[in-house]
Amino acid sequence: MSVIDTTLVMERVSEGKAVRENTTIITVVEYPMLLEYKYFYGKILYPEEEDLNFAVELQNKLREIGRMKGAADLIIASICINKDEPLLTSDSDFDDIQSVSGLKLS
C-alpha cells in the first residue's frame, strides 16, 4: 500500500475525498485534523530507530550534492524506504531524496 504525504492529505480532506493510503505520524503532527476525518481509512506509521538513523544517512548524501531537506521529509522518506512502500506526493523535495536513495514515488 502507498504512503501519502501531508500536502496530498490536506488536498483530499479539503475536497471531501477518501484517504485510503497509510500516512506517517509526521503528517498527523503537521495536520492533526486527519484524526477527526471520517474518510480516513489508512494506518498511521511511526518511525523506528532505524528510520531515524537512515534519515541522517539521507541528509548526509543530500549534503554532498548541496540539496539538504527538512527533517519531516527525511523521516517520511526513510519510513517508506525501510517499509518498501511507495510515497504518493506532489512535493518536489522528494525528487532530490529519490535521487540519492531507493525511494519509490507515485
What pLDDT is attached to residue 1?
Answer: 86
**For residue 20, what pLDDT band results from cuts at 50, 70 and 90?**
very high
High-pLDDT (> 90) share of the chain, %: 98
What pLDDT is attached to residue 26?
Answer: 97
Q: Could you tell me the pTM of the whole model?
A: 0.94
The answer to whether 88 and 5 are in contact (CB under 8 A) is yes
- Residue 106: closest CA among 91, 87, 93, 92: 87
The model's pLDDT over 22-74, given as tens digits with 9 standing for 90+, comes to 999 999 999 999 999 999 999 999 999 999 999 999 999 999 999 999 999 99
CATH, domain range 3-99 = 3.40.50.1010
